[in-house]
Amino acid sequence: MKIAVLPGDGIGVEIVAEAVKVLRALDLKFEMEEALVGGAAYEAHGHPLPESTLKLAKEADAVLFGAVGDWKYDKLERKLRPEQAILGLRKELGLFANFRPAICYEQLTHASSLKPELVAGLDILIIRELTGDIYFGQPRGRREAPDGAFAGQPEAFDTMRYTRPEIERIAHVAFQAARKRNRKVTSVDKANVLETFQFWKDVVTEVHAQYPDVELEHMYVDNAAMQLVRAPKKFDVIVTGNMFGDILSDEAAMLTGSIGMLPSASLNERKQGLYEPSHGSAPDIAGQGVANPLATILSAAMMLRYSLDQEEAARRIEAAVKDVLAQNLRTADIYSEGTTKVGTKEMGDAVVARLKAQ
């Protein structure tokens, strides 16, 4: 089993180091190889996703990813910016299925912006299609507007598109995931306005015929953005396109109040996957040893489960994380009075200690 380790920028370096430490503590045999990505790779090689990094990622069974990005790259042309690395990896590895759990941990309920009764016990799984939609649709660019009320004016444009097989495969992923949970899928679309999402709705409805044991509900994206605020616990699995998924998964993550705890997985058809925390590179606190490594450690657990077939090891990590929360250890982002504030390394060490004690 080979893991490509791509720490990236900002706090990525610190939090991935802790996840690697936890993986090593498992006494499983995997090869781990590290490479640069994002701004760090741009500095060293002039490109956020160098050929060598891409090659490593493709050969590996899984990629453990930290985070990329820093304001100092804002002025670079788009194709050299750190985020292009993550878009490139998704596309090149065909990582079409993004799993973003939004879970509210019992001890952290109070950290949510929402009233505790609305989020206590929250456990949603957002499944976002990750290689299609307006993120990659061609054509796109700048031109003179060819028609419309402003014909002849400078214009920029992008293309939203989904083919039937792309919608079918993500729908299957969602229904199958729902079978392991509460058997309810909410498909989020904008069928009242967009051709793409009328088609999405039609195809999801067709695929649903193969899953009579799963409840399917359709919801417009604007309404979904509202219902997440109003009554998030009404959701089980949400499945949606790349653009809407980007927005709703971040909204849902923030609702929990502890985005520093939330992992993510992006899988292709061969179960190769990229695993990364739901939060970003937080350049403002990078290098200070205060970042929360738990989202990355939990991402490593997802990696063991989905790509490396090590369900037991995954559960051990998840149990160890629950233990350190129960021990009242907290990094700054989830700290509250009466708990013990620890740094990035101490938190990683604490998880390792719990693993050893199991």
Ligand X SMILES: CC(C)[C@H](C(=O)O)[C@@H](O)C(=O)O
- Of 21, 45, 83, 289, which one interacts with ligand X (CB under 6 A)? 83
Q: Please, which of residues 23-62 interact with a copy of itself by CB under 8 A?
A: none
189 catalytic? Reply is: no
Question: Considering beta carbons, is residue 29 or 115 the nearer one to a copy of itself?
Answer: 115
Could you give the string, one character per residue 228-247, with x where binding to ligand X holds by CB under 6 A and - elsewhere?
A: ------------------x-
Residue range at the interface with ligand X (CB under 6 A); choices 82-90, 153-161, 201-209, 347-355: 82-90
Nearest to 156, CA basis, from 173, 143, 138? 143
Cβ(49)–Cβ(37) under 8 Å? yes
- For residue 47, the minimal CB distance to a copy of itself (Å) is 17
**CB crowding 56-88: b at 16 or more within 10 Å, else e:** bbeebbbbbbbbbbbeebeeeeeeebbbbbbbb
Cβ(177)–Cβ(305) under 8 Å? no
190 catalytic? Reply is: yes
Could you give the string, one character per residue 162-201, with x where binding to ligand X holds by CB under 6 A and - elsewhere?
A: ------------------------------xx--------
- Of 158, 202, 250, 323, the active-site residue reads 250
- For residue 222, the minimal CB distance to ligand X (Å) is 5
147 binds, among ligand X, a copy of itself, none (CB under 5 to 8 A by kind): a copy of itself
The verdict on 312 binding a copy of itself (CB under 8 A) reads no
How many residues bind to a copy of itself according to rule CB under 8 A?
Answer: 63
Cβ(3)–Cβ(60) under 8 Å? yes
- Of 70, 73, 133, 190, the active-site residue reads 190
- For residue 221, the minimal CB distance to a copy of itself (Å) is 6
- Of 2, 55, 222, 309, the active-site residue reads 222
Amino acid at 99: F
Binding-site residues for substrate: 90, 100, 128, 222
Burial of 155 (0-12, 13-18, 19+ CB in 10 A): middle
135 catalytic? Reply is: yes
- Of 29, 75, 115, 180, which one interacts with a copy of itself (CB under 8 A)? 115
70 catalytic? Reply is: no
Distance CA 108, CA 261 (A): 10
The verdict on 217 binding a copy of itself (CB under 8 A) reads no
Helix crossing, 344-357 with 12-24: angle to 10°? 10
**CB crowding 259-296: b at 16 or more within 10 Å, else e:** bbbbbbbbbbeeebbbbbbbbbbbbebbeeebbbbbbb
Distance CA 152, CA 286 (A): 46
Sites of contact with ligand X (CB under 6 A): 83, 86-87, 192-193, 222, 246
Task: Report the catalytic residues.
Answer: 135, 190, 222, 246, 250
